[in-house]
Amino acid sequence: MNSTEIRKWSSGKAIELSSKLEKPSPFYFGYDIEESFISQLEKYSFDKIFFFTEPHLFELYGKNIYKKIQEKFPCHLEFIPPGEKCKYFPILEEMCENLILKGASKKSILLAFGGGTVGNVVGLAAGLIYRGIRFIEIPTTMMAQTDSTLSNKQAVNGKNGKNHFGLYHAPIFIWADTKYLKTEPLLYRRSGIIEGIKNGFISDPNFLDYLEKALNPHANFSDDELTELAYRIIVSKLEILKRDPSEKGYGIILEYGHTFGHAIEWLEEGKMSHGESVSFGMKIAAELAREMGLISQKDVDRHYYLIEDKLGFNNPFPEHITADRLIDAMIADNKKTGEELRFVILEKIGKCYNPQGDYLVTVDSQVVKKVLNNFIEGQLNKRSSQTYEFLRVA
């Protein structure tokens, strides 16, 4: 099959992919595959299931699958606050204490039905209770189906940064039905796709060619196109994980744009999505690579073209974020790795720079500051000459 062809995704047929992780979880993927979920669940022995979701997701899709589970097994419904609001200690603590009160045992299974946030907090609760019980993920967003469920990383946010408290805990299986993606808010759909664009820049120029043809600024797709896009993003990440399932050596390239991105997301205090923050992070990382003489202006322009013109992420950079604030936030977020500023940097399209056997490259803070100041100035000029579509997290 050539790089631009779209498969016929037949309704109701689940295919199995391998996540290639240290503890690989079976990953079932397809369009409208809900009917076969129960037969997969029946393969496991357990005393009860705790079904975690957000109220509006339950109304949209969750209640069908919940009803099917409840007809066969003891199943408790548990609601958690929507989006990033659930990724904090008080919510995690309440979830864990409630589970104990409601009789969760080592034989119970938690089920996370929702986006990356639901998966992260439920995965962390499952990893903590009795030092770890089983859990299942049914991801309902592009980000969760193509990225977060493929890493086994579970976390909540701290007072000083995102994902500061967590652990690795693998679900017993992942059930990704692309039917759910149809109603995902545009902002989040774009946020999921940005990680796919990232995978192309760091490892696969052919994938970028496909994305250039497949994407449109309204992120509007037919069912087959959306399923094909999700499938190809998943495969692009699996190719990287195959070489380094632990994401500590080669796999660290998946952090491209994330050092800047996490700091922007943090400074925006929840007003900007993870994906949009990473989209700014990738543009800045491209500018940094050009400043270091590694990539050309044409390569930098390709970032802007794909992110802004093809994906439609073209909001202005937040006015209150200065180069100094961003550098301070990056240093604070980097406590785990030290005070130096370290980034994944492109050597060319499809390949990351690895000067001393380490894909996280230390860059002098003055160089970073110069790049940031130029970037921010460029954004200010853009602000005064363009009208933007304002899409912000409510």
Ligand X SMILES: NC(=O)c1ccc[n+]([C@@H]2O[C@H](COP(=O)([O-])OP(=O)(O)OC[C@H]3O[C@@H](n4cnc5c(N)ncnc54)[C@H](O)[C@@H]3O)[C@@H](O)[C@H]2O)c1
Residue 81 found at the interface with ligand X (CB under 6 A)? no
* 352 C-beta neighbours (distance < 10 Å), count: 22
Binder among 122, 129, 133, 144 for ligand X (CB under 6 A): 144
| 162 vs 290, beta carbon nearer ligand X | 162
Binder among 19, 25, 108, 141 for ligand X (CB under 6 A): 141
Binding segment for ligand X (CB under 6 A), chosen from 9-17, 88-96, 116-124, 207-215, is: 116-124
* 70 C-beta neighbours (distance < 10 Å), count: 15
* 188 C-beta neighbours (distance < 10 Å), count: 24
**Least separation, in Å, of the C-beta of 123 and ligand X?**
8
Site residues (CB under 6 A) for ligand X, limited to 181-240: 183-185, 188, 191
**Structure-token pair, residue 379:** 């954004």
Ramachandran sector of residue 160 (left: φ over 0; alpha: ψ -120 to 50; beta: rest): alpha
Site residues (CB under 6 A) for ligand X, limited to 35-74: 54, 57, 60
Q: What is the radius of gyration, based on Cα positions, of the chain?
A: 21
Binder among 19, 148, 199, 315 for ligand X (CB under 6 A): 148
| 117 vs 199, beta carbon nearer ligand X | 117
DSSP reduced 3-state for 135: strand
| 84 vs 333, beta carbon nearer ligand X | 84
* Interatomic CA distance for residues 185 and 240, integer angstroms: 28
90 and 149 Cβ atoms separated by less than 8 Å? no
* Interatomic CA distance for residues 9 and 31, integer angstroms: 7
Tell me the residue type at 384. Answer: S
Count interface residues toward ligand X (CB under 6 A): 30
Binder among 30, 83, 127, 261 for ligand X (CB under 6 A): 83
First to last CA, the chain: 41
Binding segment for ligand X (CB under 6 A), chosen from 83-91, 224-232, 276-284, 317-325, is: 83-91
Q: Name the residues that contact ligand X, by CB under 6 A.
A: 54, 57, 60, 82-84, 87, 114-118, 120, 140-141, 143-144, 147-148, 151, 153, 162-163, 180, 183-185, 188, 191, 274
